[in-house]
Amino acid sequence: MIVAASTGCFPEIQIPEVIEVLSDLEFTSVEIVLDDDGIQMPPHRLMSDYEECLRLVRDTHRLDICSYNVRINASGDEHYERFEKVCDLAKATKVVTITIPSGEHGTPFNQEIEHLQRMVKISESRGVRVSLKSQIGRLSEDPDTIKNLCEYVPGVGLTLDPSQFLCSPSKNKNYDKLLKFVYHTHLRDSKKDKLQVRIGQGEIEYGRLITQLQSVGYDRALCVEMTPSADMDMRQELRKLRLLLDSLL
């Protein structure tokens, strides 16, 4: 396994500057966020400025790109057109895994299945895998629903964020049955009543998680994904978690 960090840890600065920060913190791999509501590299920009976007993500100062975390705010055909461009970018930069959100609570199961089937068809034609992020407030909040989605749509995997299960309304529901579907991870420290706390103050058992992932042959990224907070020094927290994960590996 490798330890990586997400550009989403610093959403207020552009990708070249984020890469410099993560390099200074001695990360060797990066996840790049492609968010239509963000400033770093929104998917809609790929539609009009693809070559420049490709140049930017290739200039990562020796950091490998382990994945893309994608949030597209368009609907209908426009959504799939943007996703196709994201997959083109992934293929060009030799990135295998793309994380996407599942549908929000209330999305009909069959509608979600049809959506994911279309996403998988697009991604697989470019040698890319689709991974659903476990996330409170969405269908992927519930381990049973994730399992069903992964089984109904072959090729769909999971971006495991254990904090989302720890803090969910289902209260730390067991996710062991999902381990075989894990394509990627998102990590921070959390308590049952708070999604993000300083490293070492929460309840996430990183050592146990790593052992569980090793048991199913997972050999990809442990990716730090934290949200900026006024009461945290983000650089210090990223450094602490990188050192901790490195020590466990």
The per-residue pLDDT for 148 is 96
- pLDDT 10s digits, 142-187: 999 999 999 999 999 999 999 999 988 766 678 899 999 999 999 9
Cβ-based neighbour number of residue 171 at 10 Å: 9
Tell me how far apart the alpha carbons of residues 190 and 248 are, in angstroms, rounded to a whole number: 18
User: Helix, strand, or coil here: 20?
Assistant: helix
Q: Can you name the residues that pair with 69 across neighbouring β-strands?
A: 33, 99
Q: Is the pLDDT of residue 90 over 80?
A: yes
Q: Where do the domains of the chain lie, and which CATH numbers do they carry?
A: 2-248 (3.20.20.150)
Residue type, 8: G
Q: How confident is the model at residue 206 (pLDDT cuts 50, 70, 90)?
A: very high
Give the list of residues 6+ apart from residue 51 with CB closer than 8 angstroms, or none: none
User: Helix, strand, or coil here: 147?
Assistant: helix
Provide, rounded to the nearest whole percent, the portion of the chain with pLDDT above 70: 98
SS3 per-residue string spanning 173-184: CCCHHHHHHEEE
pTM, rounded to two decimals:
0.93
Residue 101 near residue 131 (C-beta atoms within 8 A): no
Helix (H) or strand (E) segment spanning residue 18:
helix 15-24
Q: Is the pLDDT of residue 222 over 80?
A: yes
Of 56-65, 104-113, 146-155, 219-228, minimum mean pLDDT range: 56-65
